[in-house]
Structure formats: structure tokens, C-alpha cells
């Protein structure tokens, strides 16, 4: 059974810092990996999707990498801003598991002025 872990569970940084959020998964047989952002009491917003054949994806100040063989992904946020404060979730599409995502429990990020 695929398990997805995110470390740390919570992170507080001063504005302007570059930071890395980690995601690990136990089964490397994945279709792709998706990073989401969730603001308190809201739905999920898709940030980046990395196909299993890709190594990384970039969108603005965000860069996500994928190392399937080691079962790891990182989300890099450059020059963090208070508006980046949210919970960040990673999720993997598993092969042979139907059209389903398995989610991690998230990293709660707070960027302070």
C-alpha cells in the first residue's frame, strides 16, 4: 500500500527566505506527483504536476523535483512571502490503483513579516 509522508509537519520562516518542503512515498510505481496548496477552510489549488518521466517542473517562484527511484519529491519556494502561508500537500497517482491520488498529510507553512 502506497504511503506518502511530508516533513516537516509545520514550518515557520521569515519573509524572503528560500525554503524546501519534502515529500516521500513508499512505492515508486507512480504515474505522476501533484503538489497542492490549501488555505484554511478552503479547497485545494493545484500548484504543479510532475509526470513520472520528468525530473522537475517550475511555475514562477515554485520548483518541484521528482526522484522516483528514491521515492522523493521536493517543493522549492523562492523568496517566500506572507501570502505563501498555507498548507502544502503532495499526492501521487499510483499505477494499477485506478484513477486515484494518495495524499500526504501536508506541511503547514507560515511566512512571517
Partner 1 sequence: DAMVIQNPRYQVTQFGKPVTLSCSQTLNHNVMYWYQQKSSQAPKLLFHYYDKDFNNEADTPDNFQSRRPNTSFCFLDIRSPGLGDAAMYLCATSRGGVSGVYEQYFGPGTRLTVT
Contact set with partner 1 (CB under 8 A): 4, 31-32, 34, 36, 41-46, 49, 51, 89, 91, 93, 98-101, 103-106
Nearest Cα residue to 34 out of 69, 79, 4, 70: 4
Query: Min. distance of Cβ 53 from partner 1 in angstroms?
Result: 11
Query: Min. distance of Cβ 26 from partner 1 in angstroms?
Result: 15
Q: Give the residue with the Cβ less far from partner 1, 14 or 40.
A: 40
Query: Min. distance of Cβ 18 from partner 1 in angstroms?
Result: 26
Query: Min. distance of Cβ 105 from partner 1 in angstroms?
Result: 5
CA distance 54 to 84: 25
66 within 8 A of 33, measured Cβ to Cβ: yes
Q: What is the CA radius of gyration of the chain?
A: 14
Q: Give the residue with the Cβ less far from partner 1, 14 or 60.
A: 60
Q: DSSP characters for 29-62?
A: -EEEEEEEEE-TTS-EEEEEEEETT-SEEEETTE
Q: Give the residue with the Cβ less far from partner 1, 8 or 16.
A: 8
Amino acid at each position: 500500500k502506497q504511503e506518502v509522508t511530508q516533513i516537516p509537519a509545520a514550518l515557520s520562516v521569515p519573509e524572503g527566505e528560500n525554503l524546501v518542503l519534502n515529500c516521500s512515498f513508499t512505492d515508486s510505481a507512480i504515474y505522476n506527483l501533484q503538489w497542492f496548496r490549501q488555505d484554511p477552510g478552503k479547497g485545494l489549488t493545484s500548484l504543479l504536476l510532475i509526470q513520472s518521466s520528468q525530473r522537475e517542473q517550475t511555475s514562477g517562484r515554485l520548483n518541484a523535483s521528482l526522484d522516483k527511484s528514491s521515492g522523493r519529491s521536493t517543493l522549492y519556494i523562492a523568496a517566500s512571502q506572507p501570502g505563501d502561508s498555507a498548507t502544502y500537500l503532495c499526492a501521487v497517482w499510483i499505477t494499477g490503483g485506478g484513477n486515484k491520488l494518495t495524499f500526504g498529510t501536508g506541511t503547514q507553512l507560515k511566512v512571517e513579516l
